Chain A
């Protein structure tokens, strides 16, 4: 299963790769990373249909915000699951994300246990 993680903090990649070390090693999970909304869209558009099934995106990014990215993904690829990860867990962001079609809303610091559960539920 291919998952895309969007965050402008580059160290997120290393963190996720280690957190999902086992899953990556046994081939059940493939992680790709984008550091901006525009990057993310490029990755999704690489193949048709996109191989990515789940996108986790930060909200607070320069340029395109996570919420804007969410709207764009939901318009172009409604089948892809999108969840938001934000340092700002206020109700404004939360409501906006959910009404725009986000599957979940995670706050930073990321609780990897619940994140894993979320991914596992999708892997079945």
Chain B
């Protein structure tokens, strides 16, 4: 009898704990409290001598029955179903034994042991069910915790993701800014480079001027001299023609005529020579990138070797060097940019003369050099796939550690102000990028340097 009420209190307490504290549940809280008070009252009454034992047992059973009914009926209390299932067999058994005891006490006595055994099993049932429910609950709790953790993790990941996205956006913005800054710097560099290329062009034009002046002066002298002498010849011819025809020297007349004709040819030839020099000078100074055109490489090499020689000669009176042209007459006509290739040749030849005469100076400083003759040799030769041009000097050569740097922009071994350090790097660009060719150098320190241009025939 006590047990029924303890079950009641237990279930009520269980429900009370799980019932929310909200206003709407105030009624249910009151009802639960009343139920608990009733159960406690029944326990006390059960121990007191007052009242009928059967009545109190009946009331206790009614109370617990009502509670279980509520557990099944009221949705808020459904969670106590498991407890209800656990205690139902016991409560049923208790009701049945009470009813049997009332109806037939003798029969009750005869089956009392059986009822006790059943009571024990009902109790076991309750304990087992309780145990299982606990276990299930724990598993559920664990699952809930896990899912909660997963949720937490997910939320954390989301947070990190958002943070990362923000950072990526920031970085992207930074990078875009940097990219723009770099682009600006690049454009400025390009402009500076163009400016430098132009000033290098102008510098090499300056180097050329003296050579060009000399190269133009020579043919002009011939033009003047040959026209002058032709005038004299005509004068002589006139005098001859005035003579009586028996005294006329027909042979001399023919000679004079022949000379005059030859002189006119010479005048034309030297006039054209001067014109060609002026043209190539204009080409050389042209700002825009020239177009490729069929070019006689031998003629170009000859022209620039002379320009270089006379240029240096005009600039430095003490300069003197020997030069040789070894041209392969079988060269094909190549499609090149003549002023660009000319600039390369001029640069290489100027360097070669410089190197050879530097060696001469060095030897003279040591009191030697009487037998040393600075020499520059320019050769052209036909190759399987194109043309090879070499510029060789017998100067002091290029040390191994410098050889790798000679084509780098701004690298120069000349004293400050004597070279821009752009000549060879520009030459390299013109040959490789501009013409798809190849520019290389071989050297034996103390003996020679040789720059080799390979041009492909397309």
Contact = CB atoms under 8 A, between A and B. Distances in A.
Interface in B308-358: 309-310, 313-314, 317-318, 320-323
B133 interface: no
Contacts of A92: 317-318
B224 interface: yes
A88 B321 CA distance: 17
B314 A18 contact: no
Given A19-B229, A87-B214, A110-B221, A11 B320 contact: no
A68 B320 CA distance: 10
Contacts of A65: 320
Interface string B194-228: 00000000000000000000100110111011101
Contacts of B317: 88, 90, 92-93
Given A63-B322, A88-B314, A93-B317, A109 B214 contact: no
Contacts of A14: 262-263, 266
A93 B314 CA distance: 12
Given A11-B270, A88-B314, A18 B224 contact: no
Contacts of A18: 229, 232-233, 259, 263
A117 interface: no
A22 B230 CA distance: 14
Contacts of B236: 21
Contacts of B322: 62-63
Secondary structure dominating the interface of B = helix
A92 B318 CA distance: 9
A63 B310 CA distance: 13
Contact of A109 (B225, B252, B313): B225
A15 interface: yes
Given A11-B270, A15-B222, A110-B225, A60 B262 contact: no
A109 B224 contact: yes
Contacts of A109: 217, 220-221, 224-225
A23 interface: no
Interface residues of B, number: 30
Contacts of B320: 65, 68
Interface in A95-115: 108-110, 112
Nearest to B223: A109
Given A62-B322, A87-B217, A15 B225 contact: yes
Interface in A42-78: 60, 62-63, 65, 68
A39 interface: no
Nearest to B309: A62
A14 B220 CA distance: 16
A63 B218 CA distance: 19
Contacts of B270: 11
Interface string A1-29: 00000000101001100110100010000
Contacts of B221: 87, 108-110
B247 to A, nearest CB: 16
Contacts of A21: 233, 236, 259
Interface in B346-387: none
Contacts of B217: 87, 108-109
B243 to A, nearest CB: 16
Given A87-B217, A88-B317, A109-B221, A15 B309 contact: no
A71 to B, nearest CB: 12
A21 B226 CA distance: 13
Nearest to A91: B317
B222 A11 contact: yes
Interface string B231-247: 01100100000000000
Contacts of A15: 222, 225-226, 229
Contacts of B323: 62
Central interface residue in A9, A18, A87, by most chain B CB within 10 Å: A18
Contacts of A108: 217-218, 221
Contact of B266 (A11, A88, A110): A11
Contacts of B220: 109
A90 B233 CA distance: 33
A106 B108 CA distance: 165
Contacts of B214: 60, 87
Contacts of A112: 225, 228
Nearest to B321: A62
13 contacts: A11-B266, A14-B262, A14-B263, A18-B259, A18-B263, A21-B236, A21-B259, A88-B313, A90-B317, A92-B318, A93-B317, A109-B221, A110-B221
The 7 A-B residue pairs whose C-beta atoms are closest, nearest first, are: A109-B221, A18-B229, A92-B317, A63-B322, A65-B320, A15-B225, A62-B323
Interface of A: 9, 11, 14-15, 18-19, 21, 25, 60, 62-63, 65, 68, 87-88, 90, 92-93, 108-110, 112
Given A11-B270, A88-B317, A112-B225, 16 more contacts: A9-B222, A14-B266, A15-B225, A18-B232, A18-B233, A19-B232, A21-B259, A62-B309, A65-B320, A87-B221, A88-B314, A90-B317, A108-B217, A108-B221, A109-B220, A110-B225
